[in-house]
Structure 1
Amino acid sequence: MVIKVFLASSSGSTAIKKKQQDVVGFLEALKIDYTQFDIASNEDNRMWMRENVPGEKKPTNGIPLPPQIFNEGMYCGDYDTFFEAKEDNSVYEFLGLTPPPGSKEAQQAENAQKLHNGSGTEEHLDDDTTKKELVEAEQNGDAHTAELEEDDPGKKAETDAQEENAEEEEPAEEDEESVTDH
């Protein structure tokens, strides 16, 4: 598969020049094979690029600006979508390529596959641990509170407010006791 980057060799816009350099420099840094197609000096390249950018991806004036990136005939995106892929460490996916082993993107794909298959490093508690935690919750009164919260969210707020008021009243009672003791 050949990555095609459509550029304008004689662009008057410094913004376009910087975007083109960013794309080409990044592809070179990753050692991704690509071919440059100049739309400024070759009318066929310009027409091919304009015809093959999907309608929904074209700007409001209908004329896509370089750089535009393709994988063979498949449209990958413009500079903005390339930049997003670069930020997300998903350039290979953006380009329709398989990431090389050891790359961040390959590691992310591997981790996602592990989680999808359920072979990730999850901690599974046995039934005894769960039962023990449930008994402790019942002894602390937490189980009943949890039931209230599930049944009526308004009661949770009321229960929380009552607990808060009870905590505020306790120190006041202690202060009164210390005053009467002296």
Structure 2
Amino acid sequence: MVIRVFIASSSGFVAIKKQQQDVVRFLEANKIESEEVDLTMSEEQRQWMYKTIPPEKKPARGNPLPPQIFNGDRYCADYDSFFASKESNTVFSFLGLKSQLASKAEP
């Protein structure tokens, strides 16, 4: 499956831009197949993302902010959860992927 990162290319918030870059850079550095989905370019994709995020993961007010991370159509989490998994060295299981060490050991 491809990891899909929902981003907003025209966000005016520096923090959101940095978070988006952090996720994308991590995926690129670890050679994880990914796709960026720009919410500002597709109302259909934005609505799909809003509907697919589980209710318990949505903010109490407003819409979920990018970056939002999916493995195919399965919701993984937002940036805060991604960062926590990165800090605890559990990103691969967080994303629903085999670790790179396990995949390199297989023939």
Q: TM-score range by the shorter chain?
A: over 0.9
Q: What is the aligned partner in structure 1 of residue 35 from structure 2?
A: 35
In structure 2, the gaps of 5 or more residues are: none
Structure 1 or 2, whichever has the larger Rg, is 1
Q: What is the aligned partner in structure 2 of residue 6 from structure 1?
A: 6
Secondary structure of 1:101's aligned partner = helix
Letter in 2 for 1:70: F
1:131-174, CA deviations, whole angstroms, 9 ceiling, x for partnerless residues?
Answer: xxxxxxxxxxxxxxxxxxxxxxxxxxxxxxxxxxxxxxxxxxxx
Displacement after TM superposition at 1:62 (Å): 4.1
Q: What is the aligned partner in structure 2 of residue 57 from structure 1?
A: 57
1:35-71, CA deviations, whole angstroms, 9 ceiling, x for partnerless residues?
Answer: 1100011111111111111100001114100000000
Alignment RMSD: 1.3
Secondary structure of 2:100's aligned partner = coil
In structure 1, the gaps of 5 or more residues are: 104-182
Q: What is the aligned partner in structure 1 of residue 17 from structure 2?
A: 17
Secondary structure of 1:19's aligned partner = helix
Is residue 91 of structure 1 aligned with residue 101 of structure 2? no
Displacement after TM superposition at 1:72 (Å): 0.8
When the two structures are superposed, what TM-score results if normalisation uses the length of structure 2? 0.92
Q: What is the aligned partner in structure 1 of residue 69 from structure 2?
A: 69
Identical-residue share of aligned pairs (%)? 58
When the two structures are superposed, what TM-score results if normalisation uses the length of structure 1? 0.55
**Counterpart-to-counterpart distance in 1, 2:41 and 2:73:** 21
Displacement after TM superposition at 1:100 (Å): 1.6
* Structure whose residues are more often helix by fraction: 1
